[in-house]
Amino acid sequence: MDPAAAKLIGAGLAAIGVGLAALGVGNVFGSFLESALRNPGAADGQQGRLFIGFAAAELLGLLAFVVAMILLFVA
């Protein structure tokens, strides 16, 4: 296969990872909202943990984005 074409295909495949991280981030906020509506009194105390979970889930998607960018512009 042509190396330039392989690079573009690889970058496209890496973009799938970004979409999967979207599932993770949605899951973090969705679960938080679900339980916050059940017990609104405890919700405010857990916002720090909400954002830690968000940061952890988001980082993995961002890594996939970095892979795509490295394939496109560096490799």
Partner 1 sequence: MAAEGGKIDPMHQFLVEPLFGKHLIVGGYDISFTNSALFMVITLACLWVFMLGGMKRALVPGRWQAAVEGFTGFVANMMETNIGPKGKAFTPYVFSLFMFILVANLIGMLPLGIVPGWHAFTVTSHLTVTGTLAIISFSIVLVVGFARHGLHFFSLFVPHGTPGYMVPMIFLIELFSFLIRPFSLGLRLFVAMTAGHILLKVLAGFVINGINAGPGIAAIVSIPSFLLMIGITLLELLVCAIQAYVFALLTSLYLNDAINLH
- 74 contributes a contact to partner 1 by CB under 8 A: no
| Residue 22 lies near partner 1 (rule: CB under 8 A) | no
* Segment (H or E) for 10: helix 3-38
CA distances from 1 to 5, 15, 19, 22, 66 (A): 7, 20, 26, 31, 23
Q: Is 41 in the site for partner 1 (CB under 8 A)?
A: no
User: Which residue lies nearer to partner 1 by CB, 36 or 54?
Assistant: 54
Backbone φ, ψ for residue 39 (5° rounding): -135, 75
Q: Of these, 4, 52, 71, 75, which contacts partner 1 (CB under 8 A)? A: 52
Which residue stretch of 1-9, 28-36, 55-63 sits at the interface with partner 1 (rule: CB under 8 A)? 55-63
